[in-house]
């Protein structure tokens, strides 16, 4: 087993990565079960695919569990579901010393973490991510949120989990499209500041998608190590270090807005196209060699990910896409900080980007 620590001074926590971890997770969770019982939040898909095995290992460990099931997909991250979830937690007499278990993908982790943050002014929670995207990104770092009418993740809080348990074997039943969407976030860590890891992704892409357990575990571990390091350096995105994790996300959120935050374009797919756009925009600004942008797009294409507006199914013009960007949480005093690149592994935060120029660039991409 690999244990990665998130070294936050006031509440450090561990991330365990082990193939087959789910099969005996009951034993790992025993210290977290108050009076031999835990509360579990999951969604309809995970309830079918993973929950029976999870419940069996809890039974083996003598732990009783009560489960709350969310609808699958972004619909699970609404005010309505938050109200249902918090009512249920109160009916279950949740206490601050409980550790609520988030068993699922990013949606389950985000809403469970937010519910844990607000219920009784703060309960602990444990993340057991079941998708690649949740394993390498959303389960680590304590960003929790629900969606509101004005946009995605606009109501939320920083609330760190007490523990993250990652079983790479869970990826074996994940649809390829979901796996590819998570792979975009894996590649992102290479693009931010680790060119050698980008090359690892390129060299091992076929093995990764072919199911090689060692390559999958290495990709997850290296991603989580990067995320843990960045979160420990800038937990609440104040200094600019954590903002590096938003590479591709400003373009990506605009693409997601244009496609209705729906299954037409998964978040990871939008991030892939967003990263390809960020690299091409950096080339346009004379910051980045064109070859690097081509290499980024080629790797993402090999994973079956979109790298252009049309591949992402986006039809809006540049002005409309930039309007979506203006709703970004990071917009401040009329300026939108942008992640640009001087090359692969050399991402930086720029506050000098002119949104009208971004619109013209997007029009040139159509
Ligand atoms: N997913 C970006 C972050 O955790 O900061």
Residue that is last in its domain, among 118, 140, 173: 173
What ligand 1 atom has the least distance to the C-alpha of 143?
Answer: 4
Give residue for tokens 């109501």. 155
Same domain for 142 and 194, yes or no, is no
Provide the domain count of the chain: 2
Residues 241 and 99 in one domain: no
Cα of 305 to ligand 1 centre, how many Å?
A: 20
Note whether 121 and 185 are same-domain residues.
no
CA–centroid distance for 41 within its chain: 18
Mean pLDDT of the chain: 96
Rg, the chain, Cα only? 20
Question: Quick one: 91 and 47 in the same domain?
Answer: yes
Residue 334 has pLDDT above 80, yes or no: no
160 and 201 together in one domain: no
Q: 63 and 206 share a domain?
A: no
Q: Which of 122, 146, 173 is the last residue of a domain?
A: 173
335 DSSP 8-state letter: B
Q: What is the pLDDT of residues 14-53, one digit of tens each?
A: 999 999 999 999 999 999 999 999 999 999 999 999 999 9
Q: Whose CA is nearest to atom 3 of ligand 1?
A: 245
Is residue 138 located within the same domain as residue 268? no
How far the first Cα of the chain sits from its last, in Å, is 47
The model's pLDDT over 212-237, given as tens digits with 9 standing for 90+, comes to 999 999 999 999 999 999 999 999 99
Same domain, 130 and 258: no
Q: Are residues 268 and 149 in the same domain?
A: no
Tell me: pLDDT of 144 over 80: yes
Q: Which of 154, 173, 192 is the last residue of a domain?
A: 173
Read out DSSP for 243-294?
GGGGTTHHHHHHHHHHTTTSTTS-HHHHHHHHHHHHHHHHHHTT-S-HHHHH
Q: Is residue 237 annotated as part of the catalytic site, yes or no?
A: yes
**Any ligand 1 atom below 6 A from CB of 267:** no
Task: Give residue 81's domain range.
Answer: 2-173
Predicted model pTM: 0.96
Annotation says 121 is catalytic = yes
Mutate to test the pocket of ligand 1, among 137, 230, 267 (most ligand atoms within 8 A of CB): 137
Q: Which atom of ligand 1 is nearest to the CA of 140?
A: 4
Do 195 and 326 fall within a single domain? yes
> How many angstroms separate the CA atoms of 298 and 294, rounded?
6
Residue with the two structure tokens 């390829």:
176
pLDDT at 262: 86
pLDDT tens digits, 103-118: 999 999 999 999 999 9
Question: Do residue 66 and residue 11 come from a single domain?
Answer: yes
CATH code of residue 132: 3.40.50.1970
Cα dihedral 216→222→228→234 (10° resolution): -130
pLDDT in tens, 74-87: 889 999 999 999 99
Report how far residue 246's alpha carbon sits from residue 224's, in angstroms, rounded to the nearest whole number: 15
CB of 143 within 6 A of ligand 1: the answer is yes
Q: What is the CATH number of the domain that holds 315?
A: 1.20.1090.10
Q: Which of 129, 140, 196, 137 is nearest to 167 (CA)?
A: 129
pLDDT at 220: 98
Q: For residues 11 and 298, which has the higher predicted lDDT (pLDDT)? A: 298
């Amino acid at each position: 087993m690999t244990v990665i620590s998130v070294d936050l001074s006031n509440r450090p926590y561990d991330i365990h990565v082990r193939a087959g971890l789910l099969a005996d997770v009951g034993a790992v969770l025993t210290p977290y079960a108050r009076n031999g019982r835990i509360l579990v939040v999951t969604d309809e898909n995970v309830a079918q695919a993973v929950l029976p095995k999870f419940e069996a290992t809890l039974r083996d460990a003598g732990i009783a569990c009560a489960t709350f099931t969310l609808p699958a997909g972004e619909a699970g991250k609404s005010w309505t579901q938050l109200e249902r979830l918090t009512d249920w937690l109160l009916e279950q007499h949740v206490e601050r010393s409980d550790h609520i278990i988030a068993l699922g993908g990013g949606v389950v982790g985000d809403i469970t973490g937010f519910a844990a943050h607000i219920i009784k002014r703060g309960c602990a929670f444990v993340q057991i991510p079941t998708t690649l995207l949740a394993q390498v990104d959303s389960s680590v770092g304590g960003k929790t949120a629900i969606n509101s009418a004005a946009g995605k993740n606009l109501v939320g809080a920083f609330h760190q989990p007490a523990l993250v348990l990652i079983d790479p074997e869970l990826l074996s039943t994940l649809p390829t499209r979901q796996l590819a969407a998570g792979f975009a976030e894996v590649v992102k860590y290479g693009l931010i500041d680790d060119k050698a890891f980008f090359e690892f992704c390129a060299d091992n892409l076929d093995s990764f998608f072919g199911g090689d357990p060692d390559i999958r575990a290495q990709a997850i571990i290296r991603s989580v190590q990067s995320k843990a390091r960045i979160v420990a350096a800038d937990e609440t995105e104040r200094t600019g270090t954590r903002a590096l994790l938003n590479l591709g996300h400003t373009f990506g959120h605009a693409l997601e807005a244009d496609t209705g935050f729906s299954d037409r374009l998964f978040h990871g797919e939008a991030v892939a196209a967003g990263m390809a756009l960020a690299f091409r925009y950096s080339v346009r600004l004379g910051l980045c060699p064109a070859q690097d942008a081509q290499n980024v797009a080629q790797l993402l294409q090999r994973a079956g990910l979109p790298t252009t507006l049309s591949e992402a199914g986006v039809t809006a013009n540049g002005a409309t896409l930039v309007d979506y960007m203006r709703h970004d949480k990071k917009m401040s005093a009329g300026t939108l900080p942008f992640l640009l690149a001087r090359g692969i592994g050399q991402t930086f935060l720029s506050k000098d980007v002119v949104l009208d120029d971004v619109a013209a660039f997007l029009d040139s991409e159509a």
